[in-house]
Amino acid sequence: MKIAITGSRGIPNNYGGFEQCAENLAVLLVEAGHEVTVYNPDYHDYNIDSYKGVRIVKQWNPEKKIGTIGNFIYDYRCIQHAISENCDILLVLGYTTASVFFPFLNKKKSILVTNMDGLEWKRNKWNMIIKKLALWFEKLGAKYSDYLVSDNREIRNYLQRTYKTDSTFIAYGATLFRDPQESILQEYNIETGKYDILIARLEKENNVETVLDGVLLSSSSTPTLVIGNHQTAYGNYLKEKYKAHSHIRFMGGIYNLNHLDNLRWHARFYFHGHSVGGTNPSLLEAMSSGAFILAHDNLFNRDVLGSNAYYFESPEAAAQLLRAPEKCLEQRDRFIQANFLKIENEYNWQKITNEYEDLFKTVLTSHNK
């Protein structure tokens, strides 16, 4: 098959979840014998026209000069280029901002498959106008895509309930981490099992404030590491709010994967506060790196973790878990091993790629009848 993948900030991944998906999926599809193109923005620092057998096509993206509107231009150029080359499958990762063009596409032979991502219109960082636009984009994606992919069973249920449209559930993947190195902790002045950790973009819907308020309510003096870029308006607000509490440490962004895996592995508790996405890649990374997870209580997180985590929905609930750590830690080994098995059996990249490949073959057969 001739497959084009758009909607990411390019590969090799140096940004986030969709980029990780694009990289792993594209490489494994090439290994399976398919012709795969991934679109990169012109500012991506990888300047070779192929990556592990994947063809790389760069397109102009003025996002850094003119803001979000630049992504509309970038998405349009990527989609039009893929269609002009008559790809069999055009896989779009995320409906924003690409879906605004879906009603006008002259797709020729190309079949449009959209990974619908999470409920972007619920993100608190956006004002009401942007939220309404995001909801409109979601409707366009659901209406005009030939086929939909949902990365979480609860997203699939939502699309069926809201738009009366079916989607294929295909999650993301992760790679098991099995090589802990305690010496790395020395760089961060911490010790195994004597700190808690939260890794997230510092945004309201990721419940960073809920977690940190819970830390204060619990009267815990255990260091809590907050990893994520804090050079933002909300990051500055959080630093100001908790500046009197030296055990809450804003570490900034850490992008060394080996360090992140070790920080998760050796932590006492790992807080996962994401609430509006489907299957969040950072949650899978926590599961795959042996983290003992305390997760925000919502349908998406429960769909992934099941009974293999403790849950909180408020600062008071988080504080209650922290006030009785020994009771929680009784389940540590069982929860971690169960999550390892989930990654190995359900959320591994080869399985995810096989599911995408099967979907692509099915839709091609259906269209060619």
Give the pLDDT confidence of 135-182 residue by residue, as tens digits.
999 999 999 999 999 999 999 999 999 999 999 999 999 999 999 999
pLDDT digits (tens, 9 = 90+) for 14-26: 877 889 999 999 9
Phi and psi at residue 55, to the nearest 5°: -75, 130
Closest CA to 149 of 90, 76, 84: 90
Q: Is residue 131 scored above 90 in pLDDT?
A: no
Q: Tokens for 82?
A: 């893929």
* CA–CA dist 310, 323 (Å, integer): 13
Q: Specify whether the CB–CB gap between 254 and 228 falls below 8 A.
A: no
Return the percentage of the chain with pLDDT > 90, whole number. 86
- Partners of residue 148 on adjacent β-strands: 114
pLDDT of residue 38: 98
Task: Please give the average per-residue pLDDT across 271-287, as a whole number.
Answer: 92
Element containing residue 296 per DSSP (H, E): strand 293-296
pLDDT of residue 367: 82
Element containing residue 6 per DSSP (H, E): strand 2-6
Per DSSP bridges, beta strands 224-227 and 168-169 are: unpaired
pLDDT digits (tens, 9 = 90+) for 295-354: 999 999 999 999 999 999 999 999 999 999 999 999 999 999 999 999 999 999 999 999
Q: Is residue 184 scored above 90 in pLDDT?
A: yes
pLDDT of residue 277: 79
- Amino acid occupying residue 163: Y
Q: Is residue 123 scored above 80 in pLDDT?
A: no
Q: Is residue 108 scored above 90 in pLDDT?
A: no
Q: Is residue 130 scored above 90 in pLDDT?
A: no
Q: Is residue 122 scored above 80 in pLDDT?
A: no
pLDDT of residue 88: 97
pLDDT of residue 170: 97
* CA–CA dist 174, 168 (Å, integer): 20
Q: Tokens for 106?
A: 């002259």
Region of residue 180 (left: phi > 0; alpha: psi -120 to 50; beta: else): beta
pLDDT of residue 103: 94
SS3 259: helix
SS3 225: strand
Q: Tokens for 247?
A: 């055990």
Place of tokens 């971690």: 336
Q: Specify whether the CB–CB gap between 260 and 191 falls below 8 A.
A: no
Q: Is residue 95 scored above 80 in pLDDT?
A: yes
pLDDT digits (tens, 9 = 90+) for 249-264: 999 999 898 999 999 9
Buried-state track 285-300, b at ≥16 Cβ within 10 A, e below 16 = bbbbbbbbbbbbebeb
Per DSSP bridges, beta strands 50-51 and 54-59 are: antiparallel
Element containing residue 354 per DSSP (H, E): helix 349-368
- Amino acid occupying residue 51: Y
Lowest-confidence range among 9-18, 80-89, 206-215, 301-310? Answer: 9-18
Distance from the first to the final alpha carbon of the chain: 17
**Which band of pLDDT confidence, cut at 50, 70 and 90, is reported for residue 96?**
confident
Q: Tokens for 139?
A: 């409707």
* CA–CA dist 169, 355 (Å, integer): 9
pLDDT of residue 240: 97
Phi and psi at residue 18, to the nearest 5°: -65, -35
pLDDT of residue 149: 97
**Which band of pLDDT confidence, cut at 50, 70 and 90, is reported for residue 77?**
very high
Closest CA to 98 of 86, 90, 108: 90
Q: Is the dihedral of CA 287, 289, 291, 296 positive or negative?
A: negative
Structural domains of the chain, ranges and CATH numbers in brackets: 2-173+348-368 (3.40.50.2000), 182-345 (3.40.50.2000)
Q: Is residue 126 scored above 80 in pLDDT?
A: no
Q: Where are the beta strands (DSSP E) in 267-330?
A: 270-272, 293-296, 310-312
pLDDT of residue 17: 82
* CA–CA dist 227, 269 (Å, integer): 14
pLDDT of residue 12: 94
